Homo-oligomer: A and B are copies of this chain.
Amino acid sequence: MRFSVLVEVRLRPGIADPQGATIERALPALGFSGVEKVRVGKAVRFEVVAADEAAARDEATSMAERLLANPVIEDAEVTVISGNGRP
């Protein structure tokens, strides 16, 4: 079966996020107030062919650890979104 997967890669708490800080600094000039703690991560979406949802999740988690995220500074969260009947 084919599963759609979303891997969200976030900087770990405490790791400086210059991109998020820049966005936060730009917001008041654009008229946005009350926005805090802006953190910018990556959202990687892909499709994976696997026997079942658990296998899809395992492969995606392994991919996240080995390629998509840097585990020293980043956390990865894997969400298996949907499966359908296609091979």
**A30 touches which one: B30, B36, B67 (CB < 8 A)?**
B67
Chain A contact residues: helix, strand, loop or mixed: strand
**Knowing A23-B67, A27-B67 touch, does A44 contact B34 (C-beta < 8 A)?**
no
A50 at interface, CB cutoff 8 A: yes
Number of copies: 2
Count of residues in A whose CB is under 8 Å from the partner chain? 33
Q: Please indicate which of the listed interface residues A38, A42, A66 has the most CB atoms of chain B within 10 Å of its own CB.
A: A38
Return the CB mask of A8-36 against B: 1 if under 8 Å, else 0.
11100000000010011011001010111
Q: 14 interchain pairs (CB within 8 A)?
A: A9-B43, A20-B46, A23-B67, A30-B66, A32-B59, A34-B48, A34-B59, A35-B47, A35-B48, A36-B46, A36-B49, A37-B46, A39-B45, A42-B43
